[in-house]
Amino acid sequence: MSEAIPALEPDARPPSRARSTLFRRLADVVCLPASRVNSFERAMTADLLVEMLRAARLEERVRVAQRLAPLSEIPNALLRLLLRDHPEVARPILTESTSLTDSDLIGCARHAGPTHRMMIAQRRHVSEVVCDVLVEAGEPPVVEILMRNEGARFSQGAIEAIAAATRVYPALIAPLLRRPELRPSQAYVMFWWAEPDNRKLILSRFAVGREVLQDAASDVFAMAAADGWQDPLARKALQFIERRQRNRAAIDKSPYESLEDAVAAAASGLTRELAAEIAYLSGLKPMTGAKILTDPCGEPLAVLCKATGLPKSAVKALWKAMRRPETDSTGQMVPALEQTLLIYDMMAVDRAQTVLRYWNWALSSALTPALLRAIRERDEEAVDDFSPSAKAAMLALQHDFG
């Protein structure tokens, strides 16, 4: 009878030549083609290799992983062990193996560490479901790598989650703006907490015209007018599509003869009542107007003036009315005002109107008592029950309700 082989604790003694050879031979058997070894023999060998690897040294586990990485099919128990092992053990398989399924990657992402998730994010192809799991982990470095990966594909749920995270991690804004999955509504709401360079990018890339919609609905305006504008859904959509930005009905009720007149009156001091009046005359709700006029940088002011047909001088007039400095100690124009005027020159009227109407839609018309409660309570899960404009409102207004 042969002598029993004693069980070893990890690293209990230096590895012998027999041990190193056995690791190599067992890995070789697992790598044999189906014509040389059947599935049961492969599974048995893999089980033995798993037991040995549990007590093996790091360098031994790395060598086995490197040997198995090129395989088109790795036994499941062995694969799970290696994927969740030390990052150096998992690396050959996560970076080289093309046979990993979404299930394999999801299991690794959920049960391993940040370094493993970072390696998954760097794979040549990352599916939507795997991206969802990586985004759910809430690790900005992993998400940033994932967004820079052209082979990654994001679901709209993941994009919405990242857009929300940019409030706390603004470094994610720039790579997110380059993703093809990002929608205008998501970009416009991120605008409110983006840096000037990213704001300019949002307005230049996502500020689209509405010519196609206007052509498609050209005869619908007459139909809605004939019905007395009684259908609220049609009225709301047509308000978004129409070419006119200013509220003509508000002029009749206003103490000012025009929007220009209201802006001129602001030179004496921009009160809350006057700000609300400017919003009404511009075709906006007071909450949208307040968000624009209280923005610390000023780009929204440029959008407002361009969309409503106000001249460039109106931008400077409102800037001055808000008691903001126009020049620095050297007499040079302050960067914030310079950026605001640049945005005014850059944007076409129709595109500025699109941005303004998205803001008005998201920041005011989408607000309901239930949504306001969700905003105040910061209940992001509850907002899943709301429309895209409602979700945008929650993101944009959370700070205001803080």
Is it the case that residue 245 has pLDDT exceeding 60? Answer: yes
191-212 pLDDT, tens digit each: 999 999 999 999 999 888 888 9
Average pLDDT of the residues in 257-268: 92
Tell me if 140 sits within 8 A of 171, measured CB to CB. yes
CA dihedral 107, 113, 114, 116 (to 10 degrees): -60
Is it the case that residue 8 has pLDDT exceeding 70? Answer: no
Domain membership flag for residue 136: no
Domain membership flag for residue 372: no
19-75 pLDDT, tens digit each: 777 777 777 777 767 667 777 777 777 787 888 888 788 888 898 899 888 888 888
Domain with 41, as residue range(s), is 1-100
Report the alpha-carbon distance of residue 12 to residue 381 in Å, rounded: 51
For residue 163, give the nearest of 401, 394, 375, 402 by alpha carbon. 394
Same domain for 94 and 223, yes or no, is no
Domain membership flag for residue 83: yes
Domain membership flag for residue 109: no
Give SS3 for 293.
helix
If one counts the domains in the chain, the total is 2
State percent of the chain over pLDDT 90.
45
Domain termination site, one of 48, 72, 100:
100
301-335 pLDDT, tens digit each: 999 999 999 999 999 999 999 889 999 888 899 99
Tokens representing 75 are 């036994």
